[in-house]
Structure 1
């Protein structure tokens, strides 16, 4: 079946009342395709476990209206040159595909690399402070990672700061919208949205006519969390979308980080609560983030520095051993190179001071290469 045809039936299926992403995928697993769901009889649908008469009647009674809406939406997509990807295509974002409630389809404008190597979501309060915006910008600008994407929601405050920092650093950034493409919220971010499209994308699961209603934003937060390897919260109040995104990211078993703030500051209550309840790791810098994620910077190779350094024979021997073995503990270094524990510890400390190796938990070491 061609993509356009399948997408039409997926849009129609989602447009039926009571059918969400999870139920839709259960139906698709049972009946092989979205088109089959619209062709099957109510009696055959009722044979599927978990599908009651109410749902079957809803699908049967609303299918013509839903298909007409889907056809209209596809006409709009073609007219506006909007790109699409649905759950059953190979290039659907891999991280998002592993989420139980991943959207059936996505619409986007711009250049959206669907499976970048490093994807980070940055979220926070709309009522951000100068401190929060500066911290957000500093984190993003100091990441210096190859094939990096920054994901946020283009709301006021921290979301806007995250997108702006990414644009300034020429880092692709994805703005996940809480409405369809016939709207733009907030309207003040129109100029920013145009810059995002040039190096990134505007992304939504909502149909073109759907407005930026209040209930849409918590729904879109699962996409922000699901697209990302990790979520960073910069300034969050005790309630709000940033905490929802963090909770969703935790439910997806993704890493969550929180920038601490002043005790008693209303914009920091959410961040401090995430840290205090072990729902997020305390984050103070981009270097700290990369260390926790075990990601390497896109900086000039350490090998060049090593070539210009003169090491004594024993130190060179330890260095070469780590180079060949990637990572190992001090006991193995002592046994293999016939070193005493004191000598090995002294050499390793010297290499660490020279910035050539990293000390890892459990008395393990690896090169900074």
Structure 2
């Protein structure tokens, strides 16, 4: 990209009321970002979403001055970037209508033909959440996926560090510019992450970690990945926003279940209950549902539990599914002659034991 085009892209980024959706529409209409600023007013007003107020902002030189200043910072710090039309722009993010037109990056990020998973959760991670994160990353490591998170306290930093421990590439999505790190205490981890992945952000050097920036950052976490996993979350939280965004992108969402009375399991349990997320008890669930190749994964990672104790109802359902293959809940209830409400509760218990798994289309199958 030429300096003139980059300045034009930065100028578009800086203009109020022009988000990424509108910016892409304008660039597409004009052919390039630089052409936007050479078009006559009556041509620009034909574009859906462009009114007289936005037109005045496009013509305001203050945004040009801001773009030039940011370009000087980018060049002085040797910051890399990727444009939404570039070949190296994240593939999954290209399919998100509101994906950033420009992403700044730092580190050794290599996305080509790689499996990518986002893992998010509460900042107040419990021992249960910590143990699950470490086990999940260990189990999925043989497939060599990239692990994406938000570099925040709790689940985020736990999965970043676990990924590095197991030799995986990991990416932190930031809610501020690359001239700072938040939280400051995580500065000690930046070098390791840059050597084993790196950081993405859409924010300029004058951006501070404001609340709304974290909400915007969440769409990048969701958009970068094939699927999003929520490990722990209270009834409300940023990780649930990320899960909702991933769901809106038609990406698979997974959630780790917990006890109903546990505060930081409520969000995950609700996602499962509302059928916004697949219940996940191990990496094998995600591997299977995403259709990933498992031939390189050790049997320890994906092998079903042997000699699991099942009661009479569970054994009846399991035997039926083994014989008939994938079945919907209604058919299971009919053929096994068990009331639907009991089948539903029994299947949940069987999922927890790892002897059945849910599938898209409300199907179930024996493991």
Instruction: Measure, in 1, the Cα distance between the counterparts of 2:162 and 2:41.
Output: 53
TM-score by length of 1: 0.79
- Aligned residue runs from structure 1 range 1-369, under 5 A: 2-60=1-59, 62=60, 64-297=61-294, 299=296
Q: Are the aligned partners of 1:118 and 1:145 in contact in 2 as well (CA < 8 Å)?
A: no
**DSSP-derived class of the 2:264 partner:** coil
Q: CA deviation at 1:147?
A: 4.3
Aligned to 1:348: none
Instruction: Measure, in 1, the Cα distance between the counterparts of 2:19 and 2:189.
Output: 32
Bigger radius of gyration: 1
Q: CA deviation at 1:256?
A: 0.4
Q: Are the aligned partners of 1:119 and 1:229 in contact in 2 as well (CA < 8 Å)?
A: yes
**DSSP-derived class of the 1:121 partner:** strand
Q: Deviations over 1:87-142 (max 9, x none)?
A: 11122111100001010011111011133421000000011111111101110111
Instruction: Measure, in 2, the Cα distance between the counterparts of 1:9 and 1:224.
Output: 26
**DSSP-derived class of the 1:143 partner:** helix
Instruction: Measure, in 2, the Cα distance between the counterparts of 1:115 and 1:224.
Output: 17
**Structure 1 residue ranges (4+ consecutive) displaced by more than 6 angstroms after TM superposition:** none
Q: CA deviation at 1:301?
A: 9.1
Q: CA deviation at 1:360?
A: 12
Q: Deviations over 1:68-105 (max 9, x none)?
A: 21222122112222111011112211110000101001
CA change 1:47–1:193 in 2 (3 A) is same
**CA RMSD of the aligned region, Å?**
2.0
Q: Are the aligned partners of 1:259 and 1:282 in contact in 2 as well (CA < 8 Å)?
A: yes
Could you list the runs of 5+ residues in structure 1 that have no partner in the other structure? 303-328, 331-358, 362-369
Q: CA deviation at 1:287?
A: 1.5
CA change 1:198–1:128 in 2 (3 A) is same
Q: Which moved more, 1:243-252 or 1:285-294?
A: 285-294
**DSSP-derived class of the 2:85 partner:** coil
TM-score by length of 2: 0.79
Instruction: Measure, in 2, the Cα distance between the counterparts of 1:49 and 1:87.
Output: 20
**DSSP-derived class of the 1:268 partner:** helix
Q: CA deviation at 1:43?
A: 2.5
CA change 1:137–1:116 in 2 (3 A) is farther
**DSSP-derived class of the 1:40 partner:** coil
Could you list the runs of 5+ residues in structure 2 that have no partner in the other structure? 300-323, 326-356, 360-367
Instruction: Measure, in 2, the Cα distance between the counterparts of 1:50 and 1:202.
Output: 32
Instruction: Measure, in 2, the Cα distance between the counterparts of 1:301 and 1:214.
Output: 42
Instruction: Measure, in 2, the Cα distance between the counterparts of 1:249 and 1:139.
Output: 20
Q: Deviations over 1:138-179 (max 9, x none)?
A: 101110344410000000000010101001111000000000
Q: Are the aligned partners of 2:164 and 2:170 in contact in 1 as well (CA < 8 Å)?
A: yes
CA change 1:240–1:135 in 2 (3 A) is same
Q: Which moved more, 1:38-47 or 1:87-96?
A: 38-47
**DSSP-derived class of the 1:210 partner:** coil
